[in-house]
A and B are shown apart, each in its own frame.
Chain A
Amino acid sequence: MSSWIDYTINGIIIGNIYALLAVGLALIFGVSRLINFAHGSVYVVGAYAGFVAVTQLGTPLPLTIVIVVAVGALLGLGIERFGLRPLQGYAHIAPLLATIGLSFVLDQLVQLTFSPDPRALPSELLERRFQVGSGTIGALDILIAAVGIGSAALLYYFLRFTRLGWAIRATAQDRDAAQQMGVDVNAVNRAVFAIASALGAVSGLLVGMYYNYIDPAMSFQATLKGVVAQVVGGVGNVPGAIAGSMLLGIVESYGIALFGTSYRNLFAFILLVLVLVLRPNGLFASRRQTPPEPMTGTFIAPSKPIQISYPVLIGIAVVMALLPLVLPNPYVLQTLTNAWLYGLLGLSLTLIAGTVGLISLGHAALLAIGGYASALLSLDLGMPVGASILLAGVIAAAIGTILVFPSFRLRGHYFSIATLAIGEIVSLVILNWESVTRGPIGVAGIPPLSIFGFELDTDRSIYWFALAVLVILAALQFRLLGSHLGRTLRAMRDDDIAARSYGIGLDRYKALAFSVGSFAAGVSGGITSHLYSYINHETFNSQLSILALTIVILGGMGNVTGAILGSVLLVGLPEVFRVAAEYRVLIYGLVLLLLVRFRPQGLLGTI
């Protein structure tokens, strides 16, 4: 069974790498109550800093590590400066969204500088291996273990025996009381971001050396793994983060041994969702906690929404419907068709995140469910395309709501993290469930759009179809918001405790809203799959989830018109100005960052 020893060692090594990430996240959460979604970007920057040092400057390993630590620490200070400090006193979710925006910006800058192609990060340690019993251990394994254990020891000493360390612990335990002892909590925040980011950057370097492979896309996965390890160990708990990381590393390693590499992340995210739902304080917390001070985790800035009367809206819709007759430019029509489809996604998320206040970070999964459902129904079961799209909406509503239902009890950040993980799980199930989804090959030859047997083969007809679907669903959403359900859902968002006291069962109404919202997203995914004729598990990726959120915040949370406007602006404008694809994500990140900071109520205002 020598391979089991190898798998165990491998698990511990990976666990060490996760620990370097998770400890930083835990430190940051401890002092600032922020889950830093830019942490993975620090990891990527660390890896690339190491790459530059080794390949361009030819630095020896110790110097490389020093450079990476310095770069990481500086970057951490920058994240604190732009992602956290200006947002003190904002809604709790605001800094989290800001760090998502920052991570988009940073990742794209890395990609623009070094190209999206993977690079090798050579290390002379890679080849050296030692015999241990019946297994082997590499020199790099030993280095990683040494860095992991060494950092943990250093951190322990620092937190226990230095003034700054004490200030960090005191701030984490009671921010106000620490201030009353004369602790400058802003300085503590800066120190923590610098330390955490230095550790994260080193983690990136080590991973790059371990796999002799780095690419900008590692960022998101690294953030997720760090978050998983941290949540498993108890958010904000430093020893817990280390234990959670080891557990995660070993679970993944054994999972790979038993089921193969493509299952690795699936285990990680299922573990995350299970822990969130069953033990939200982490595996190591035992006490029955005092019920937390009621805090709505929503992102609702009181504002006067800009009222647009129904006649005006109908007028705009008519103008849009007439547009193909006046301006039969295929490029414009395709762009706007795209905007209408994103508008459907926006309708969905603005209802769920805006009207109900459930900030979903995995919304692309609903597109994926809808897309696959419609594609497979029409392709494998021969269902007519129009009907398959409708049924795809229903399927997305049913599956989406069932998957998310256990997470409805989570508040604020925790719900967002759960949806992020559920989104990843959906994508991984699609990848691995080959008998149905065709796995990594994807679904090709999806029949083109048609209704009642009439094929929609012109840009114009497709445009009208997408616009019609959008207008119908938007009208239904307006009608829903104008009914007793509108006020019920918004009441839940504004104050769930008070809402319950007036007889509103939260689970029932969250599920109801989530189903309605998921239907629109599923329909959007379904239509998209027929337009593309080919989809795979990466067609609807997590970037789309964040784009959807940016669309919704740009338009104004809960604002139906705003969601469509946001979609036209974010999807349409870059096309109009022919912005190259790689700059778009950068723009989305910047827009998100600026919105959160300067106009949280969006363009048309929160409803």
Chain B
Amino acid sequence: MTSAPSTAPQPAEPLLALEGINTFYGPVQVHFDLSLKVGRGHIVCLLGGNASGKSTTMKIILGLVKPASGSVHFAGQPITGLPTPQIVRRGVGSVPEARRLFGEMSVRENLLMGAFTRKDQRAVAQDLDRVLGLFPKLAERLTQRAGTLSGGEQQMVAMARALMGRPSMICMDEPTMGLSPLWVDRVLDLIATINREGVTVFMVEQNASLALEIAHHAYVLQTGRIVLDGPAATLRTDPRIRDAYLGGQDAG
């Protein structure tokens, strides 16, 4: 294990806090009084099966979906209901589900789009070098159209793009979805690396076993409710995780 983190409890002053969120899509309620916290410098993952409301949680944080009630605080400030660009400007980076690269633009242009909110062109150039150091594969592909890359390479571009904004926190929505096992490992290693550089990571993940290896803390979401949460190290061996996904024999 390269990155088994400490089992430190969640710090009192979280970077991100969701409080009493209720969300609806039309008449369907997606979240039921959802609350969670992400400690500064931590990797926190939100686990859950299909249609549990994971991705919607991500959209709430990024301001793409507005909750019916409840609040989102980032770095102590309320960000509930702010438009997405403003939330991004406050230091929230995003690695969207299915990567969502700008397929017709080059890898380089994609990376620089990540720094769209920044005006300091020299620092951006330095960061580009730094990020390419982190993802050496991408350096060879800078001029290629992003849409022509393989899934794993696209995931790297998406993560590098998010880093280019110098966020204090990155939201990752299913970063390992649709990747081959080799790439899954690589991507998770990179997430741990990014985190060691001081970036807080909040990730939504279906691949529970691997996510728990790199995370500090985890929440398990089931049909819009947190049914389990705790330090990743203890959850790793908790049989209730499996039940949450596969439906336990005795699960109520």
Contact = CB atoms under 8 A, between A and B. Distances in A.
Q: In the complex, A touching B, CB below 8 Å?
A: yes
Interface of A: 163, 166-167, 169-170, 173-174, 176-185
A308 B168 CA distance: 61
B112 to A, nearest CB: 7
B102 A183 contact: no
A181 B109 CA distance: 12
A94 to B, nearest CB: 19
A182 B103 contact: no
A49 B161 CA distance: 45
A183 B89 CA distance: 10
A595 B84 CA distance: 31
A249 B84 CA distance: 43
A184 to B, nearest CB: 5
A415 B107 CA distance: 37
B25 interface: no
Contact of B94 (A169, A180, A184): A180
Contact of B102 (A163, A174, A182): A174
Given A174-B100, A174-B102, A166 B64 contact: no
Contacts of B105: 166, 169-170, 173
Given A173-B103, A179-B64, A182-B165, A163 B96 contact: no
A181 B161 CA distance: 9
Nearest to B112: A166
Contacts of A182: 85, 88-89, 116-117, 165
A181 B100 CA distance: 11
Contacts of A180: 62, 64, 84, 88, 94, 96, 100
A182 B96 CA distance: 13
B93 to A, nearest CB: 8
Contacts of A166: 105, 109, 112-113, 116
Contacts of B83: 179, 184
Contacts of B94: 180-181
Most buried by B among A176, A180, A181: A180
Contacts of B103: 173
B100 A176 contact: yes
Interface residues of B, number: 23
B104 interface: yes
Nearest to A180: B94
B53 interface: no
B114 interface: yes
Contacts of B64: 176, 179-180
A181 B116 CA distance: 6
Contacts, number: 62
A424 B105 CA distance: 39
Interface in B65-88: 83-85, 88
B163 interface: no
Interface in B163-206: 165
A167 B105 CA distance: 11
B101 interface: yes
B96 A181 contact: no
Contact of A183 (B100, B104, B116): B116
A392 B102 CA distance: 54
B85 A184 contact: yes
A170 B117 contact: no
Nearest to A174: B100
B116 A167 contact: yes
B89 A169 contact: no
B165 A181 contact: yes
Question: 3 tightest A-B contacts by CB?
Answer: A182-B117, A182-B88, A177-B100
Contacts of A177: 96, 100-102
Contacts of B116: 163, 166-167, 170, 181-183
Nearest to B121: A163
A169 B104 contact: yes
6 contacts: A166-B109, A181-B116, A181-B165, A182-B85, A183-B116, A184-B85
A179 B83 CA distance: 9
A342 to B, nearest CB: 38
A177 B165 CA distance: 14
Interface string B231-246: 0000000000000000
A49 B102 CA distance: 39
Contacts of A181: 88, 94, 113-114, 116-117, 161, 165
Given A166-B113, A166-B116, A181-B113, A173 B102 contact: yes
B122 to A, nearest CB: 15
Nearest to A160: B109
A442 to B, nearest CB: 51
B84 A179 contact: yes
A170 B165 CA distance: 16
A182 B88 CA distance: 5
Contacts of A179: 64, 83-85, 88
A170 B113 contact: yes
Contacts of B165: 181-182
Nearest to B114: A181
A176 B165 CA distance: 16
B157 to A, nearest CB: 12
Contacts of B113: 166, 170, 178, 181, 183
A53 B228 CA distance: 72
Most buried by B among A166, A174, A177, A183: A177
A293 to B, nearest CB: 14
Contacts of B96: 176-177, 180
Contacts of A183: 85, 113, 116
A169 B145 CA distance: 13
Contacts of A184: 83, 85
Nearest to A184: B85
Nearest to A167: B116
A231 B84 CA distance: 32
A166 B116 CA distance: 9
Most buried by A among B103, B114, B116, B117: B116
A322 to B, nearest CB: 49
Contacts of A167: 116
A169 B96 CA distance: 18
A170 B113 CA distance: 8
A185 B116 CA distance: 13
B240 to A, nearest CB: 33
A596 to B, nearest CB: 23
Given A166-B109, A173-B105, 13 more contacts: A163-B116, A167-B116, A169-B102, A169-B105, A174-B101, A179-B88, A180-B88, A181-B88, A181-B94, A181-B114, A182-B89, A184-B83, A185-B85
A166 B105 CA distance: 9
B96 to A, nearest CB: 6
A511 to B, nearest CB: 34
A173 B64 CA distance: 17
A170 B100 CA distance: 11
Most buried by A among B62, B102, B105, B109: B102
